[in-house]
Amino acid sequence: MKHLRYIQAAGAVITGLALVQPAWAAGTLAGTLIQNTANATYSSGSGTTTIQSNTGNGNDSFDLTGAPNVSGNAFNATLQTVAIDTNGNGVYDPGVDTVITNGAASQTIAPDGSIKVFLIVAAPATAIDAQTSQVRLTGTSVTGSGTPGALFAGKGVGGVDAVVGASGGTANALAGLIASLATVTLTKSATIADPYGGTNPVPGATVTYSIVAHTTGSGTATGMAVNDAFPTGTTYQSGTMTLGGTVLTDAADGDAGTATSTGIAVQLGNVAGGTTDKTITFKVKIN
């Protein structure tokens, strides 16, 4: 069987929209004196006052859209979650990072600011271990986008006009994916020891079952559990269950195994592909 591990594509950075066309310096904050900024000096009852025109870069937010279907992909993943790296640690933390609807707006970003956006996707069942793919993240200015130089009246900081910069108010980035799959095979065998020193399945004979879990691939089989029912007409021999040669108790306690009147259950946990085989054994007696 195949087990899929979710694949995380992160690191697409969206920066603030330039509210004026770039001049000779990047990252000019709103209200900062830049080349060709106009000044006005006037006198009033409170004294002489000098003001300047309010051009510069301003705060903005972006509509964030994730698209896993990219031309040339070996497989197309399914988009599950779009999230913003709230705590800035570069790792998707469920319940901590801010999840948004695909296509919804980010928080407001300051000039020259940036955010990290996670696209959480799942590989299809047809994906092959180690296949590569891509997802695309597009950010579009909420203030406005379009032809550089286009004017959005009253949409700038403090109600001034906003002008689309050279980027057109939109940008996109690609992030790579690698399918990480684990394939598990179970091999079950039995040996018989009868009361007469032979190997015949007669009443009173003891049957020792061995189950080997073999995991391949670059992924991890998560939460693997092996269950096996006792054959009809047999009785489980208490205390004979083992995992990797270590005896397991039959009770539901701190170890990995449990035996009931009907069968055994062994919890193997998360098993990475290519690790040592997990071998389980137990014994029953033919009635």
The domains of the chain are located at 2-178, 183-286
Q: What fold, for 183-286?
A: Immunoglobulin-like (2.60.40)
Distances in whole angstroms, Cα of residue 131 to Cα of each of 175, 218, 241: 14, 11, 39
- Distance, in Å, from the CA atom of 183 to the CA atom of 176, rounded to the nearest integer, reads 23
Cα three-residue angle 264-266-271, rounded to 5 degrees? 155
In this prediction the pTM is: 0.62
Which residue, among 68, 39, 44, has the nearest Cα to 55 in the 3D structure?
39
DSSP 107: -
Q: Give the Cα separation of 4 and 133 in Å (integer).
A: 15
**pLDDT by residue, tens only, the chain of 287 residues:** 333 333 333 333 333 333 333 333 345 555 444 444 455 666 655 566 655 445 567 889 999 999 999 999 999 999 999 999 999 999 999 999 999 999 999 999 988 889 999 999 998 989 999 999 999 999 999 999 999 989 999 998 778 888 888 889 999 999 999 998 999 999 999 999 999 999 999 999 999 999 999 999 999 999 999 999 999 999 999 999 999 999 999 999 999 999 999 999 999 999 999 999 999 999 999 99
What percentage of the chain's residues is helix, strand, coil (to nearest 5)?
A: 0, 50, 50
